[in-house]
Amino acid sequence: MSKKIIIRVINNRIQFKCSSCAAKRNYPVQPNVRCKNIRCQKCHTITSCTLNRRLTPRELSSGNAILITNEGKTLEVFIHDVSTNGGIGLDIPIGAARARTVKIGTEVRFNCKWNPRMLGSGRFKVINSKGQRIGIKKVI
């Protein structure tokens, strides 16, 4: 089974460091690629790399919350990470993803019992969606 790591992309290039033998190598990546499997040239270990193109890293802050749409629908979601500029990455239930309950451009609110100050009473807008994973950003 392959190992999984997150690598930062700078100017469409990554510097891969093998977790088994510590060999380093630079690779070019296309702008639309989010994941890449890389085989180490020295020890031939395959590593699954998730490519991070963000300028600022996201803080890992996971937990359950209630997402409320403008239509009044409520969904229990799982928050994965929060960025310093107001972005949040979360997973929605598979049924809601298939029914397209939450679409790009939809404004939502949250009810977060474990940390009410984190999301507050603000409004958020869905900016991207890929399967169950969606990204939202605080509306100013």
Domain count, the chain: 2
- Return the structure tokens found at 103: 């679409």
Q: Are residues 13 and 48 in the same domain?
A: yes
Q: What residues does 74 pair with on adjacent strands? A: 68
| Whether 124 and 69 share a structural domain | yes
Of 4, 36, 6, 123, which is closest to residue 27 (Cα–Cα)?
36
Is 94 in contact with 107 (CB distance < 8 Å)? Answer: no
pLDDT at residue 15, rounded to an integer: 93
* Burial tier of 103 (Cβ tally within 10 Å: 0-12, 13-18, 19+): exposed
Do 102 and 64 lie in one domain? The reply is yes
Predicted confidence (pLDDT) per residue in 76-112, tens digit:
999 888 877 778 889 998 888 888 888 899 899 888 7
Which residue, 27, 52, 77, sits at the end of a domain?
52
Instruction: Identify whether residues 96 and 46 lie together within a single domain.
Output: no
Q: Are residues 132 and 71 in the same domain?
A: yes
28 and 87, same domain (yes or no): no
**Based on the domain organization, do 16 and 43 belong to the same domain?**
yes
- The answer to pTM > 0.75 is no
Q: Which range marks the domain in which residue 133 is found? A: 59-138
Percentage of the chain with pLDDT > 90?
Answer: 26
